Amino acid sequence: MLLLRHAFHPRALDVDFRQQELRSDDLVICRSRFSGGMFDEVRNLPSGRRQHWSKIRIVLAGHLLARTAGGGEILGPGDAVVSLGWDDHRCRALGAHTEYALVAWRHGTDAGDRPTWGGPVALHRERLGVGAAASALAHALDAPLPFDGVVARAGTLLDAMRGLGLPVSRDAPVACGANIQPIHRRFARALETTFFPLTARPMAIDLGATLGMGERHALRVANEFLTRFYVTATTWRQFVRGMRLELGVFFSTHPDATTERVSQALGFSSPTALCHAFQSVDLPSPGEVRRQLLQAS
């Protein structure tokens, strides 16, 4: 599998975003940590590639609202939610400090198949192994352990998920990562070093310089990489736009955030440009996003 680590702490705001990812064609494992603000997945960009994926989100710290047919259920540390489709039970943070592990797999592959059930689940007693395994993987990603050790922890988490009745394979981290090409490993390293901080307004020319190739070639590699290993974006432009908007919502919910500070942190040319970006995907203004999420927390 590919191992990527992202960290972003803009100087203009007291917020911190960290995400570590294990990625392959059919299996994605992420550990995400948000500090200083909140997120709301209903505000993320849509994707047409999610219907063949299921996932489980395991709360490690903070509280989330998992949207359900009945309106929603609050999840805290030791809770999880199983989603039959990628967009089921879209979550919203309920506080300024949230951490979770997410495992997603494509149906009918070496990773696993579609579950027969979904929804919130408390990971207590006999189910505690899933939460403990997710925490152990999070620590391994932070340490960091050697890559083989991280993959072994991922396998332990998948084995614990099988104990919940989820149709996943413990061997998936090895089986799904068997055919990753050297250029994709190079691109993963380039993505780590080029994308953050967003204040630098990362562009394809920057990727090309890091990879030692022309801009057009770098864009082709980027689009191939994202189409193969990501569920929510297929092009470099989609990826950059989606991350900017998702982090824009997160940054905007810091109590001391202003539209000017958020626009600077995300590399927009002006506060007006940030507002136009929000408006282009039917989001309210950054100030209204902050008001809505803080009011609902």
pLDDT over 90 at 207, yes or no: no
Residues 52, 133, single domain; the answer is yes
- 40: helix, strand or coil: strand
Residues 37, 56, single domain; the answer is yes
pLDDT over 90 at 150, yes or no: yes
Residues 27, 64, single domain; the answer is yes
pLDDT of residue 133: 95
Residues 113, 237, single domain; the answer is no
pLDDT over 90 at 194, yes or no: no
Domain end, chosen from 141, 157, 175, is at: 175
82-102 mean pLDDT? 94
Which residue segment(s) compose the domain that 233 sits in?
A: 182-296
Q: pLDDT tens-digit profile of 277-295?
A: 999 888 889 889 888 888 8
Q: pLDDT tens-digit profile of 48-71?
A: 667 899 999 999 999 999 999 888
CATH number at 274 reads: 1.10.10.60
CATH number at 139 reads: 2.60.120.10
Q: Which helix (H) or strand (E) holds 295?
A: helix 286-296
Q: How many residues does the chain have?
A: 297
215-221 mean pLDDT? 92
Residues 227, 170, single domain; the answer is no
| Residue 138: both structure tokens together | 């999070």
Q: Which helix (H) or strand (E) holds 33?
A: strand 27-35
Q: CB of 82 within 8 A of CB of 123? A: no
pLDDT over 90 at 111, yes or no: yes
Instruction: Kindly compute the dihedral angle of the four CA atoms of residues 137, 238, 188, 32, in this order, to the nearest 10 degrees.
Output: -20
Name residue, tokens 């990812």.
Answer: 21
Residues 257, 238, single domain; the answer is yes
pLDDT of residue 16: 94
Residues 162, 32, single domain; the answer is yes
127: confidence class by pLDDT, cuts 50, 70, 90? low
Lowest model confidence (mean pLDDT) among 26-40, 44-58, 81-95, 252-266: 44-58
Average pLDDT, the chain: 90
Residues 122, 269, single domain; the answer is no
126: confidence class by pLDDT, cuts 50, 70, 90? low
Domain end, chosen from 156, 175, 194, is at: 175
Residues 8, 151, single domain; the answer is yes
pLDDT of residue 1: 93
Number of structural domains (the chain) is 2
Residues 148, 44, single domain; the answer is yes
Residues 23, 148, single domain; the answer is yes
Domain end, chosen from 175, 198, 225, is at: 175
Residues 167, 187, single domain; the answer is no
pLDDT over 80 at 201, yes or no: no
In terms of C-beta distances under 8 Å and separation of at least 24 residues, what long-range contacts does 271-276 make, across chains too?
274/248
Q: CB of 161 within 8 A of CB of 103? A: yes
